[in-house]
Structure formats: structure tokens, C-alpha cells
């Protein structure tokens, strides 16, 4: 049942190209996106004043990335919230807003409660869900199914990746319907999404190098993931993978925020992973990495082929194929999943069933 892999997590990491392809195939026809099965009309999309994205854990990280992509492409303001916070504050939701719930299981208690809260206020709800017929899928006004298939490993990989893709698809379609991008750009973005599965396959072919790197870092006490913009959203997910299956303390930081306190934690040999997929933020994050290095940090850089001058700064570099930078999270997360996995294996831990965690959190 693990298809020759030692753990479900590794099997599911390798299922990502197919999961993305299936999700794309379900909504892309003849090179254009068709969301008619979701039941959200063009007029409704045009009328959205504000998007509220609500989720927990990795689904929240997918939503964090979506915020940058939707705002930049579709020009709709997006607010991202943890479901456990959203439901307990004074909600001043815009009636013409759209509440987007993101959940693999469709059963996460806080996300379900947030959905009910939004519905009771008469706001339209759209769920991005993996499990067909789950509570969130049944109760939301509209559903976008991710087609990741069953995910067994507690640490999410392919479900998270399809959540990212679903958000990107919404961003591109909303952008088109609202006239924020022209036909050429629209078709170009859809074609680019179509290249992601093959690019992920290419990253997976290089996994032995990451295994080597992970074995060297398996005794680390603290790891910092830093990035800006979408790279910050990816940092959050990379850090969670490290924590949940490797039991190594790690933090994700918006790179520019380090010097406001956290940099005092950097000592000789502390691992700092800089994520650099966004060209306009590249130099800024590199300079934050240099600040860490001068305090003794051991630096890993995760960037796109072509950015070779990172080798002047980082001690270890991993490259991902070029893509439209809005979609970079889909590629950059792969090496981070692999590092989390290999560190966990090197430490002899229970990769698929980490301590204290359940696959689906149905308590509040
Ligand atoms: O089923 P959901 O997507 O609602 O689950 C949300 C989180 O519990 C989940 O993403 C969790 O953070 C993962 N185990 C992380 O790998």
C-alpha cells in the first residue's frame, strides 16, 4: 500500500505531480478555466468586495500564499485568518465579501465553526476541500474539490500542494473575470500552471542531495526559515514540516523582521534557510542572510535556477526550475518537504505518525 516507499509521507510527496495534474484537469478545458461546477457565476465573482481566507495549520499556510497571489493578480483585498481566531473576534465582515475555507479533511472543528459563523452572517462561503462529502464540503455554498486523493501521513504534502494550486486557479480566474489581466496573460498563466507537475518531478529526481544535507543537519537544535512575500508563506510551511515530524524547534520569519529581536537567537552553526523565489525581493533577503551569517549561521539558500550568485553567500544551495513567480510556492515547498522527511528519518522518528498529533483535528 506504500507502493514501494518506506513511508506514506514519501509516497504522497511523489504523488504530487499527479495530484496537481488531476486538480488542473478537473477545471481546465481547452486551455481555459471552467468553474461552472462550483456554481460561482461571473457576476458573483465581479461583485466580490473582499476575500477572507480562513484555515488551520498547513491549509492556513496555503491561504497565506494565496493572499499574495490573489491580491497581485485579481486585485481583490484578501485577509487571512486562523480559524481558531476568526471565530472568536468581533467580525466586521463585508456583506459582499467571500469567505474561503481551506481544509483537507473538511472536518477541522475550528474551520467548520468559522464556516457556520460566516454563513449565519449571510456571507457567501466557498470551501476548498479534499474529502468529498465532508462536513465543510456539505455546508459551504460553493466547493472547490482538490483532487489529492486520500492522504494518510499526518504531515500533509499533496493535499497542501493542491490547496496552493486551487488558490492559484481561483486567483487567475478571478483576475480574468474582473478584467485585471488580458487574454494573453490569462492563457499564459494557465499554460504555466500546466508545467508545474513536470517541474515537481524534476525536483524529486534530485532528492539524494537533500538527503545528504538533511543527514548533516539531523542534530540541529533550532532552524530558521526566512523569506519575504510568497517566500515568507513558504517559510511557514517549511518550518511546520520540520517541527511536526523532526521535533526540531524551528521558526519561520518574515526576513525583514529578524533584526527586531529574533536575530539574537542566531549562534555559531544555527541553520538558517533563506527562500528566494521572488526576484524583486531577492537582494533584500540575501542581505538578511548575510546578517545571519555574520552572527555565525550556517546558510542554506533555496532559489530558482539562474540566481547563481547566492553561492557567494549560502553554504548550501538548492535550485528549483523557473516558473511564473506567483506559482513558486508549489515548487519551493518540495525540497522543504524532503528535508523535513529526511531529517525525521535520520533521527529515527515515526514519520507518518508524529507524537501528539492527529490527522484531523476535530476538537476546538
Ligand atoms: O484537514 P485540514 O486541512 O483542515 O487540517 C488543518 C491542519 O490540521 C493540517 O494542515 C495540519 O497542520 C497538518 N498536519 C500539517 O502537516
If one residue of 16, 53, 57, 103 were mutated to test the ligand 1 pocket, choosing by the most ligand atoms within 8 A of its CB, it would be: 57
Cα–Cα dist 121/89, whole Å: 14
Asked whether the beta carbons of 262 and 251 are under 8 A apart, the reply is yes
Distance 360 CA to ligand 1 centre (A): 7
Distance of CA 207 to the CA centre of its chain: 20
pLDDT in tens, 13-25: 999 999 999 999 9
Burial of 192 (0-12, 13-18, 19+ CB in 10 A): middle
pLDDT band, very low/low/confident/very high, at 345 (cuts 50, 70, 90): very high
Asked whether the beta carbons of 155 and 354 are under 8 A apart, the reply is yes
Distance 312 CA to ligand 1 centre (A): 37
Residues 6+ away with beta carbon under 8 Å from 342: 210, 211, 213, 214, 215
Cα–Cα dist 303/317, whole Å: 8
**Cβ of residue 156 lying under 6 Å from some atom of ligand 1:** yes
Grid cell locating 313: 553567500
Q: Strand 32-33 vs strand 28-29: parallel, antiparallel, or unpaired?
A: antiparallel
**Cβ of residue 111 lying under 6 Å from some atom of ligand 1:** yes
* C-alpha closest to that of 198 among 12, 20, 5: 20
pLDDT in tens, 229-246: 999 999 999 999 999 999
pLDDT in tens, 278-321: 999 999 999 999 999 999 999 999 999 999 999 999 999 999 99
pLDDT in tens, 181-211: 999 999 999 999 999 999 999 999 999 999 9
Asked whether the beta carbons of 291 and 297 are under 8 A apart, the reply is no
CA-CA distances (angstroms) from residue 13 to 112, 166, 189, 334? 27, 18, 24, 8
Residues designated as active site: 359
Say yes or no to pLDDT of 354 above 90.
no
CA atoms within 13 A on the CB side of 241: 28
* C-alpha closest to that of 226 among 196, 259, 200: 259
Asked whether the beta carbons of 56 and 107 are under 8 A apart, the reply is no
ipTM confidence score: 0.98
Query: Which H or E run contains 328?
Result: helix 328-346
Say yes or no to pLDDT of 261 above 90.
no
Amino acid at each position: 500500500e506504500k507502493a514501494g516507499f518506506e513511508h506514506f509521507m514519501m509516497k504522497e510527496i511523489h504523488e504530487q505531480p499527479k495530484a496537481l495534474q488531476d486538480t488542473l484537469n478537473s477545471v481546465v478545458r481547452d486551455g481555459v478555466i471552467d468553474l461552472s461546477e462550483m456554481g460561482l457565476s461571473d457576476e458573483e465573482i465581479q461583485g466580490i468586495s473582499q476575500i477572507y481566507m480562513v484555515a488551520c495549520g498547513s491549509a492556513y499556510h496555503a491561504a497565506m500564499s494565496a493572499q499574495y497571489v490573489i491580491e497581485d493578480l485579481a486585485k481583490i483585498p484578501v485577509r487571512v485568518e486562523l480559524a481558531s481566531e476568526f471565530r472568536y473576534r468581533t467580525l466586521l465582515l463585508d456583506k459582499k465579501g467571500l469567505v474561503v475555507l481551506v481544509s483537507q479533511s473538511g472536518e477541522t472543528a475550528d474551520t467548520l465553526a468559522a464556516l457556520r459563523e460566516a454563513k449565519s452572517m449571510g456571507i457567501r462561503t466557498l470551501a476548498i476541500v479534499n474529502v468529498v462529502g465532508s462536513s465543510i464540503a456539505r455546508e459551504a455554498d460553493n466547493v472547490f474539490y482538490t483532487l489529492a486523493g486520500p492522504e494518510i501521513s499526518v504531515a500533509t504534502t499533496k493535499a497542501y500542494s493542491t490547496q496552493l494550486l486551487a488558490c492559484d486557479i481561483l486567483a487567475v480566474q478571478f483576475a480574468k473575470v474582473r478584467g485585471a489581466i488580458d487574454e494573453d496573460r490569462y492563457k499564459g498563466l494557465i499554460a504555466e500552471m500546466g508545467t508545474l507537475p513536470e517541474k515537481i518531478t524534476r525536483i524529486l529526481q534530485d532528492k539524494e542531495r537533500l538527503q545528504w544535507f538533511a543527514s548533516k543537519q539531523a542534530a540541529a537544535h533550532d532552524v530558521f526559515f526566512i523569506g519575504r512575500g510568497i517566500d515568507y508563506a513558504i517559510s511557514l510551511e517549511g518550518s511546520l514540516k520540520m517541527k511536526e515530524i523532526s521535533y526540531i524547534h524551528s521558526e519561520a520569519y518574515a526576513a525583514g523582521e529578524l533584526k527586531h529581536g529574533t536575530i539574537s537567537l542566531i549562534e555559531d552553526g544555527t541553520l538558517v534557510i533563506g527562500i528566494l523565489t521572488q526576484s524583486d525581493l531577492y537582494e533584500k533577503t540575501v542581505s538578511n542572510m548575510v546578517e545571519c551569517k555574520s552572527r555565525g549561521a550556517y546558510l542554506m539558500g533555496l532559489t530558482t535556477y539562474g540566481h547563481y550568485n547566492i553561492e557567494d553567500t549560502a553554504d548550501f544551495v538548492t535550485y528549483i526550475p523557473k516558473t511564473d513567480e506567483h506559482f513558486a510556492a508549489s515548487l519551493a515547498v518540495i525540497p522543504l518537504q524532503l528535508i523535513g522527511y529526511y531529517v525525521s528519518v535520520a533521527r529515527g522518528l515515526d514519520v507518518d505518525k508524529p507524537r501528539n498529533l492527529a490527522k484531523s483535528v476535530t476538537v476546538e
